Chains A and B, each alone.
Chain A
Amino acid sequence: MSGEHTQRESGALGWTLFVVGFVGALFVGWVVFPKLLYSTQQQPLNFNHAVHMENDMACEDCHGFREDGSYVGIPQVEKCAECHEEPMTESEAEAKLVTEFVEPGKEIPWLSYTRQPDNVFFSHAAHVLMAEMECTSCHRDASQEEETPPVQVNRLTGYPKGIMKMYKCEDCHARASVHNGCDVCHK
């Protein structure tokens, strides 16, 4: 083999490796990394949104606003106990609800899909009551869900996948011509 040949061969190999590195990194970055970054966690209890809706309940019955205008978020177990003092059906989840949480008066450690980081102040009242935004413009429509989906939690930050990053807030505020100053969200 001549030196020239070796050089050309090694050049071709080099480019192949470049492509391998490139594609490999893309694969890792786009496919492997997101899987690694998030852990999948199950809710402590299955909540069947659909069945509650079928029983003529409205979203606001549980996720409404208090008299003082503050948003309830995920309700306390007290709210469940209003109907589920005793099991109403044969459902396994309901049995668990009653024995493990309602009876001992323990809060259900629900995992939030969208808990915003501590350094951000987010007011549901400002968005829903004042700006009249739909819940579904930010949250998934859970009304037809029979199974609560698992929660993806970021291993690095500890926050759920569904949180909004700053650019999202700014972008929407800009489009809606709402004040975008720092102190709107960072109090």
Chain B
Amino acid sequence: MKVDRRAFVKLIAGGIGGTLLSPLPWKLADDSAIWSQNWSWRPSPERGEATMVNTVCQLCPGGCGIRVRLINGKRAVRLDGNPNNPLNQGGICPLGATGLQYHYGISRIESPLKQKGTRGEVKTLEPITWDEAVALLAAKLKSLRAQPQGLVCLSGKQNGTVSEFFSRFLEAYGSPNYLTMPAAAQAESLGVFLSQGVRTPLSYDFENARMILSFGADLIEGWGAPCRMMSAFRLWRSKSGSQKTRLVQIETRGSLTASQADEWLAVAPGTEAALALGLAHVIVREKIYDRAFVDNYTHGFDDWTDSQGRRHQGFKSMLLEEYTPARVAEITGVQQEKIVELARNFALTKPALAVSGRGQGKMDGSLYEFLAVLSLNALVGSVHRPGGVSWAVTPPLAPWPKVVQDSTSRNGLRSERLDGSGGPDLPLGGHLLYNFLENVPKGKPYPTKMLWVYEANPAHDLADVNLFVKALEKIDTVVSFSSFMDETTVMADLILPAPTFLERFEDVSGDRGLQYAYFGLSRPVLQPRFECRHPGDVLIKLAKMLGGSVAASFPWDNYEEALQARIQGLAAAPSGRVADEPGLQPWSHLGERLAPNYGSADELWEMLQEHGCWYDTSQSMPSLSSAFKTPSGKFEFYCQALKEAGVTGSDSTYLPHYQPADLPGGKEEYPYLLMPYEVMIIENGPLANQPFMTKMLFDFELKGRDSFVEINPKTAKEVGLREGDRVELTTAIGSVKVRLHLTESARPGVIFIPLGLGHSAFDRYIRGKGANANEVLAVLQEPLTGLASWWGTPVKISRA
């Protein structure tokens, strides 16, 4: 018997048939899908017991309570909102949700670095030990001590005890040059000071208002404390009938806030103040303003005579003469009937509030625009009333001992500030970063010897971004206190890596806008991954090495001790609680006293670490009769404080008014207007989009390495361009290459460019995505205040 070829084929065929009818091939095919998951080199999440710990996010100043899911107590695998936190109510934003990628990402700095070659060159940054780094810096500071004002610190944080540590160090050392990055809180604090006599940002009782008029503030796209605003939005939308909250968005671009608002008014660029005054005109003309408030608690509403017998124009007659609906309609492009209708709605819906601060509020803003919007609140009596605006509420932290000064520091502090703030030309004060950048290259009024940058990224985040880079050329030493290799850190001579938000203690008091006192404690839930040190500890060490009064100003062993000392103030306050249960709604209890749920400062410290935050509702709004610290003791429409500060001019100088912006570049050469915008899924702050966040962008926002600008189809047709076309945008500042996305939400004639993209530093997963708008945006400075904004730059567009 011979097994021939045929028979063999039959054997094989039978084998195949049998195999196909057995589970073998199917099971193998199925299993191969998960086979690759156990390859030894494939990263796999650590297994072990999962626990949840609470802390507070520090990725933005929003102050959200977060929960970290830990495996075996040491590997964080997820960040979530903490439902017990009254501010974010369990919510988390995209930046927070992807925050672990910062902690575990590869752009972290692993040890102190010293630039041994040319500034900006990453390859020549050499690792040094902490002892070397601190000794180096201490030696430099000692050699500069005779002229201490040459030390400048730029902080990316507007408040918090670490920022205070930096300004304290400068004060003890003898430099008046502590600066912060731009923020809308600047115009706000100044406006509140001029109209009410107290220099503070405002709080907005959004949760209790029934109508909200937003002048360009992108309330649900990252304005103020972003997650607080999201939960306020949910609250507005959950109400019905007479309780319903109406949101009216006044903004040139059809933003997310505009699309979610009950009404969107697309005003002509930069004319928000004119519209506010137009609304005020109607409210005054129709006598629907809050008589009781205006008559009893305001100054400068009617025409008036000063102590020298001079007549002055009041707010009312200025409004009636200059801001008629017809004229305002012409300026803003909003129909007259609409202006009248909106004004009536705003005045008759109670309580209602108006808010300003473009985008997320990361520009200084304009004093007069802020005053115009604030005057609307005053007209309807929404100042220091529930559902309106009041002053920022600060937690009652215990003060640190006073800074000890010696003659060097006293002399240094007497010198003029490098940004000219408080000087003869800019008597109103503030942090005028752009003036500083202009003065540095001129060495005026004196040279800048050393710049410290703390968690700020001016080399990417400032409009007209080359101003910063140019200024650096004239600064001898640049020191960066950052956790990441950002654009600014790359340019530093000495890099002192900070632990990330999951590795260190820090307090977050919430960003502007909250109407109750809030104190969030961020704590180290993870061991530091690298050789990083808390900036607070570094400052203490430096102070001790400098000795004398500087050392005496930092009497603590470490930052934690200094922070604990301040908590004593919370513990001693008669009212306040640690938020330890879900669903807290402090805004429903404003003015009420809260029985503390801790017995001592130690217990409070423990509870803060366990739960994350403390809050208090008892600090009620000031009483109207004693609130205002102005020359008249009232809310001043006519800001006499401006006169006292030495500002001269006609009556309108002292009243809220509208000035058309003086945009750089001629209309003929640059026929269109370029306006920046901010969205939550593109981080526009000291950090950069991590891959998880970038993934959420649509491919008409970012495709490969190209970012897009928004343009109206009509405008695109005018220049013969289509969806997706590659173009070059050129302004008086520079040019960038982008692609076009055609959308009706863009106003004809205006091109909208997102802020936050186009990083050149960090790591290979982050850099090279899109264009940095700051390379083409020009800075507009308000002449009187020196406050900066960059909401519009004339631009031309050509095919690239």
User: Which of the residues B18, B24, B49 comes within 8 Å of A24, measured between beta carbons?
Assistant: B18
The answer to whether B49 touches A76, judged by C-beta atoms less than 8 angstroms apart, is yes
Per-residue CB contact flags for chain A residues 2-34 toward chain B (1 = under 8 Å, else 0) read 000000011101110111111111111110011
In the bound complex, CA of A70 to CA of B78 (Å): 13
Chain B residue numbers with a CB within 8 Å of A18 are 10-11, 13-14
In the bound complex, CA of A18 to CA of B28 (Å): 24
Given contacts A10-B6, A25-B16, A25-B19, contact A17 B11 (CB under 8 A): yes
Given contacts A9-B1, A118-B45, contact A26 B21 (CB under 8 A): yes
The answer to whether B7 touches A25, judged by C-beta atoms less than 8 angstroms apart, is no
**In whole Å, how far is B260's beta carbon from the nearest beta carbon of chain A?**
24
Interface extent on B, as a size class?
35 or more
The answer to whether A22 touches B32, judged by C-beta atoms less than 8 angstroms apart, is no
Chain B residue numbers with a CB within 8 Å of A14 are 6-7, 9-10
The answer to whether A23 touches B44, judged by C-beta atoms less than 8 angstroms apart, is no
The answer to whether A30 touches B23, judged by C-beta atoms less than 8 angstroms apart, is yes
Q: Is B22 positioned at the interface, with any CB of A under 8 Å from its CB?
A: yes
Q: Which of B1-37 contact A (CB under 8 A)?
A: 1-4, 6-19, 21-24, 27-28, 30-32, 34-35, 37
Q: Which of B589-606 contact A (CB under 8 A)?
A: none
In the bound complex, CA of A33 to CA of B25 (Å): 10
Q: Which of B29-80 contact A (CB under 8 A)?
A: 30-32, 34-35, 37-38, 44-45, 49-50, 52
The answer to whether B3 touches A17, judged by C-beta atoms less than 8 angstroms apart, is yes
Given contacts A119-B37, A157-B38, contact A25 B52 (CB under 8 A): no
The answer to whether B18 touches A29, judged by C-beta atoms less than 8 angstroms apart, is yes
In the bound complex, CA of A81 to CA of B560 (Å): 36
Identify which of A9, A15, A117, A118 gathers the most chain B CB atoms within 10 Å of its CB.
Answer: A118
The answer to whether B50 touches A70, judged by C-beta atoms less than 8 angstroms apart, is yes
The answer to whether B24 touches A157, judged by C-beta atoms less than 8 angstroms apart, is no
Q: Is A156 positioned at the interface, with any CB of B under 8 Å from its CB?
A: yes
**In whole Å, how far is B611's beta carbon from the nearest beta carbon of chain A?**
13
Given contacts A21-B14, A29-B22, A68-B52, contact A157 B35 (CB under 8 A): yes
User: Which of the residues A17, A119, A157 comes within 8 Å of B7, measured between beta carbons?
Assistant: A17
User: Which of the residues A15, A24, A29 comes within 8 Å of B21, measured between beta carbons?
Assistant: A29
The answer to whether A22 touches B18, judged by C-beta atoms less than 8 angstroms apart, is yes
User: Which of the residues B14, B31, B35, B45 comes within 8 Å of A25, measured between beta carbons?
Assistant: B14
Chain B residue numbers with a CB within 8 Å of A17 are 3, 7-8, 10-11, 14
**In whole Å, how far is B778's beta carbon from the nearest beta carbon of chain A?**
43
The answer to whether A21 touches B12, judged by C-beta atoms less than 8 angstroms apart, is yes
A-B contact sample (14 more), CB < 8 A, given A23-B18, A70-B50 = A10-B2, A15-B10, A17-B3, A18-B14, A21-B13, A21-B15, A23-B14, A24-B14, A25-B14, A26-B21, A76-B49, A118-B44, A154-B31, A156-B32
| A-B pairs, 6 with minimum CB distance | A29-B22, A25-B18, A21-B14, A22-B14, A158-B38, A18-B14
A-B contact pairs, 27 of them (CB 8 A): A10-B6, A10-B7, A13-B1, A17-B3, A17-B11, A18-B11, A18-B13, A21-B11, A21-B15, A22-B14, A22-B15, A24-B15, A25-B16, A25-B22, A26-B18, A26-B21, A28-B18, A29-B19, A29-B21, A29-B22, A70-B50, A76-B49, A118-B37, A118-B45, A156-B35, A157-B34, A165-B30
Mark A residues whose CB is within 8 Å of B: 9-11, 13-15, 17-30, 33-34, 37, 68, 70, 76, 117-119, 154, 156-159, 165
